[in-house]
Structure 1
Amino acid sequence: MREYTADLIVIGAGLGGIAAALAALRLGRSVILTEETDWIGGQLTAQAVPPDESVWIEESGCTASYRAFREGVRSYYRQHYPLTPEARSDPWLNPGAGNVSRLCHEPRVALAVLEAMLAPYLSNRQLQLMLETRPVTAQTHADRLLGVEVLHAPSGETRHLSGPYFLDATETGELLELGQVEHVIGAESQRQTGEPHALSEADPLNQQAISWCFAVDHLEGQDFTISKPERYDFWRTYQPDFWPAPQLSWSYPHPITLRPVTRDLFSNPVETPHGGDLWHYRRILAGRHFTDQRGDITAVNWPQIDYLLGPILGVGPEEHERHLAGARELSLSLLYWMQTEAPRHDGRGQGYPGLRLRGDVTGTADGHGLAKSVYVREARRIQAVFTVLEQHVGVEARQGQVGAEVFEDSVGIGQYRIDLHPSSRGRNYVDVASWPFQIPLGALIPVRMENLLPAGKSLGVTHITNGCYRLHPVEWNIGEAAGALAAFCLNGQHVPRQVHETPRLRQEFQRTLTDALGFGLQWPEALRVQPSPGF
């Protein structure tokens, strides 16, 4: 077995993992970064999910490196694409003009920008990047993680990774289970957390739906109908108890009011935030921006592909794989339904056979054509020194107080509604207002383990508060803070717990975040008191 060492071992190259690596690299440390797929970038690339961001993202609410990534995306389009003069001169260019985000764009562009951000550290060998590599075992002693064995799929080689610090940036918190780190899955109870929207009884198998996203374009008059999925007849009639119609339909519960809402494919081409039809909701390429007469491409991450038949955490390997396969088949069934049976917006019968699955856009043209990996909204979460509760950030839960809890140990900021998708145990949406919030350092410190840090969704939040801490810029900020913390500790011969508990060290670390890395640790007052809007 080959041995590899670095100052930081970062498992998972999603947004949190990349940000963690960049922070440590910029502070002078060496990093090994692994990724289970052959694309870095997680939500933005392998999962094909355009960024869900703060409504104020253009002015505030992210770190300097995340802002550099966003500007990198716009610069990539300006340098490499035949943009119209209007699009080229637009300082706030939204390549897809999707109404879910100010920066809807193609997965491959995000991939190119992220690879460019890592490139300088690959060439000087400060960074080792291992693609198609997943963790399989972990070795621990007392309160420390000693090493992680990973499997490199192309070669079949098992590698042993070791170093002073390990960061879990996986989509599901894999290292927490492998390293026997105290953690939580699923939903806590009201008795445990006191949260107004928590369940009356804890249920580890109550987890947010997973979704297998995909990209499509539409060529009217042509036929790209896929083969009928094996379980299509099941999915075309499947209707959750709380759904107003079969899930394969244009009707679904409104996330906030839970009342039936209908939103079809093309009948309302509005581009204002959260308006319009499904086509414009997560459109990642708007043909009108380009001079070569290319058409639109949209990413399908809609309620119709939320997989509700079971969770992928806390179950055995066979059930885990069965639910992943089920999520893939649900997505393909939605596509087939849209191509063959969906009521058309123009009254011309049923189906849009001109919908074309764009596996080339998601890097899976030679496979199933969907995204490379499933979109996971909820991971294993560490039992942390401090856990963020609904009472810290929720508008209703704070009972008339203005603004979120102020954390003296803040290591970043974020803004999004508490947005929980329907669950694997049949609970409907939970979508409630929250205040712009901070990320407390205590939520990054495990109750026991000394050298493992969460670098993504596996920080110390609850099932409820995960709903606003799971989005793209927040995941990036969490990872970047974790990578910076490990580097700060190595550079000063500290340990994370000591930094958290010692005001002088904590303040020195916060100055490193703000002065060296361009973090914001608190919201401007005018924004701090603005609750997250609905739609």
Structure 2
Amino acid sequence: MAPLQTDLLIVGGGVGGCACALAACEAGLSVILTEDSDWIGGQFTTQATPPDEHGWIEQFGCTHTYRTFREHVRDYYRTHYPLTDEARSNPTLNPGNGWVSPLCAEPIVFLRVLQAMLQPYIDRQLLTILYEHTPVSAQYEGNIVQSVNLQHTRTGETVSVQARYFADATELGDLLPLTGTEYVTGAESQADTGEPSAPPAAHPGNVQAFSMCFAMSYHEGEDWTIEKPATYAFWREFIPSLSPAWPGPLLRLTGLSPRTLQPVHYNFQPNREPNRAFAGLWTYRRILDKTVFQPGAFDSDITLVNYPQIDYLLGDLCHASPAERTQYIEEAKAQSLSFLYYLQTELGFRGLKLRPDVVGTTDGLAKRPYIRESRRIQAAFTITEQQLSAQLRPGETLAQPFVDSVGLGFYRIDLHPSVGGDNYVDVESLPFQIPLGALLPKRVENLLPVCKNIGTTHITNGCYRLHPIEWNIGESVGNLLAYCLKRGVSPRQVRDMPALLTDFQSVLISRGVEINWPDDLVLSEGDPHRHAL
């Protein structure tokens, strides 16, 4: 088969990949977007994780397109669901009333909205989506990537795609080693980065845990107990080898506070927890609050489980062989099911019902692992803790400004326990910008990252890895590549030449990409959206 030709190949259909495709197609580029599953959407959909957002998201601090996406999600519920009159008229409708985010919704709704936003470009033949395709090899010469070969995950058939630009939107940065793009993994040393939270010695295999999320509802008086997982005895008594130490077996309702590293006991009361911040695990990532809908429409809430109890700590996906990757994911699935079984049997919540219909699978677990950390490019500019930390910037309300800003983000530096034995790393950050230099590989000219694979460190990845920030990265890259192709310049020239940079930033602003925070921001310590559980 002759190679496919396109202006931009985006490998990976997650949040950043979809945002990149939207921006590039809107600017008139031809785009091929690939996805290794049968759903696009990444963290929103295949990983079954509602968006982690900051407290100003309804007013500012994200792109116009991201805000449009959020409003389309709300409109979908208003159009297709039997909401109460109060909920229907609520301009900030939160279908799940989960306290992790002001917009907790079902994966299928996020999927339908993304598909609808992309469909006009498919109709105009600007966009082609190759589902169930994964990258297996690439051709490159010097600093230029020429083509990427993709394999269908079920049939084994291959296709080659030639493009002028390539975007790595894979969840683990899988395109980087295939294209010879320099990258780092795991933890850099304090000597390398100067970061107070970095370890004394580098540990490339020390990445944050990943999780196999799942959805569940609760039906009092019914018995939905799953079959006992084969490895339940192991997971029931598993105590992670972490420093500082975990307070006991992981599959318990006692854990550690990320901020203080002191023991905490999690509240867990299905369908009974109040609708307020920090109420408990049930409402934490709840995606359907039955009280938002007409009486009788739903007999239970639906919540997504992305709790510390399902963090998988026994293997690093970045360095795993294909066989090891499969093994780790299967073990993580068993861990998640073991936690559900523990809740059902030992805590007596037999009415907890696994919901495969919500996540679109047969086993009831998300289609893909929830990935917190991937390979990261060796970038023209690397973002460090010193530029973001509130403690290291006393008296400041904003992180270090970047003259090459192409977007905004805000979240605590939030690292989950890692496979190398580190416990939580939790650092108060300040509202920050996304510097263009962090999106440019130090050498390769026509491949850019649009996911969690940008030029952050192990530490700063902890606050740049969230949904709205990944969307902003993807959208800015899509606009950047269109700008470069129309003007005959390179991404590096845009950053290095002040006139081009100013012109490109004006293009971003005209398209609704905010690049500066308001100067009069007031930070609220009580805002639950400044920190995940």
User: Once the two structures are superposed, what CA deviation does each residue of 1:376-405 show, in whole Å capped at 9, x if it has no partner?
Assistant: 000100000000000111112335544211
Residue matched to 1:185 = 185
Report 1:22-171 matches (<5 A). 22-171=22-171
| Aligned twin of 2:254 | 251
Deviation digits for residues 412-457 of structure 1, max 9, x if unmatched?
0000000000000111001110000000000011100000000111
61-70 or 154-163, which moves further after superposition? 154-163
Say which SS state the counterpart of residue 318 (structure 2) adopts. coil
Letter of the 1:86 counterpart: E
TM-aligned CA distance change 1:54 to 1:402, over 3 Å: closer
Residue among 504, 507, 514 paired with 1:520: 514
Counterpart check, 1:326 vs 2:340: no
Q: Is the 8 A contact 2:267 2:279 kept in 1?
A: no
- Which whole-Å deviations, capped at 9, do the CAs of 1:333-361 have from their partners, x for residues lacking one? 1011111112xxxxxxxx21111100100
- 1:121 and 1:534 map into 2 onto residues whose CA distance is 36
On the 8 A contact 1:436/1:528 being kept in 2, the answer is no
Query: Is structure 2 residue 268 aligned with structure 1 residue 265?
Result: yes
Residue 335 (1) aligns with residue 340 (2) = yes
* CA–CA distance in structure 2, aligned partners of residues 324 and 499 of structure 1: 41
The answer to whether the 8 A contact 2:357-2:364 is kept is yes
* Residues 273-301 of structure 1 deviation map (CA, whole Å, 9 limit, x = unaligned): 3x111111110000001115202000000
**Number of equivalent positions:** 523
Q: Quickly say closer, same or farther: Cα 1:292–1:530, change in 2 above 3 A.
A: closer
Alignment pair present for 1:423 and 2:418: yes
Change (3 A) 1:528 1:132: farther
Letter in 2 for 1:453: L
Tell me the alpha carbon deviations over residues 17-66 of structure 1, each in whole angstroms, 9 at most, x when there is no partner: 00001111111111000001100000000000011011111111110100
Any idea what SS the aligned residue of 1:24 has?
helix
Q: Deviations over 1:305-340 (max 9, x none)?
A: 011112111233332222111111110110111111
Query: Which letter does structure 2 place at the counterpart of 1:358?
Result: R
Mapped pair 1:468 → 2:463: yes
Where 1:236 maps in the other structure, the secondary structure is helix
- Taking the aligned partners of 2:500 and 2:522, their CA distance within structure 1 comes to 26
* Cross-structure match for 2:19: 19
Q: Give yes or no for contact 1:393–1:404 (8 Å, CA) kept in 2.
A: yes
- For residues 446 and 137 of structure 1, what CA distance do their matches in structure 2 show? 19
**Of residues 362, 369, 379 in structure 1, which corresponds to 2:374?**
379
Equivalent positions of 1:105-504 (< 5 A) are 105-241=105-241, 242-266=245-269, 269-273=273-277, 275-293=278-296, 294=298, 295-342=300-347, 351-364=348-361, 367-504=362-499
2:121 partner amino acid: Y
Hey, what's the Cα distance between the residues in 1 that align with 2:276 and 2:520? 23
Q: Which residue of 496, 502, 507 corresponds with 2:502?
A: 507
Point out where structure 2 has 5 or more consecutive residues left out of the alignment: none
* Percent pairwise identity: 53
Alpha-carbon separation, structure 2, partners of 1:435 and 1:68: 25
Amino acid at match of 1:135: P
What do the CA deviations read for 1:206-238 (whole angstroms, capped 9, x no partner)?
A: 100000000000111111111111110000001
* Residues in 1 aligned to 2:10 and 2:350: alpha-carbon distance in whole angstroms: 44
TM-score between both structures, scaled by the size of structure 2: 0.96
Contact persistence 1:310–1:323 (CA under 8 A): yes
Code of the aligned partner of 2:262: R
Secondary structure at the counterpart of residue 94 of structure 1: coil
Which residue identity is paired with 2:293? Answer: F
Distance 1:76 1:402, change over 3 A: closer
Give the alignment's Cα RMSD to 1 decimal.
1.4
What runs of 5+ residues in structure 1 fail to find an aligned partner?
Answer: 343-350
SS of the residue corresponding to residue 520 of structure 2 reads helix
Q: Is the 8 A contact 1:39 1:45 kept in 2?
A: yes
Find the aligned partners of 1:59 and 1:479 in 2 and give their Cα distance. Answer: 21
Partner amino acid, structure 1, of 2:257 = H
| Counterpart secondary structure, 2:170 | coil
Which amino acid is the alignment partner of residue 221 of structure 1? G
TM-score scaled by length of structure 1: 0.96
SS of match in other structure, 1:216? strand
Correspondence for 1:346:
none
SS in 1 for 2:148: strand
Determine helix, strand or coil for the equivalent of 2:448.
Answer: strand
Counterpart Cα distance in 2 of 1:2 and 1:428: 50
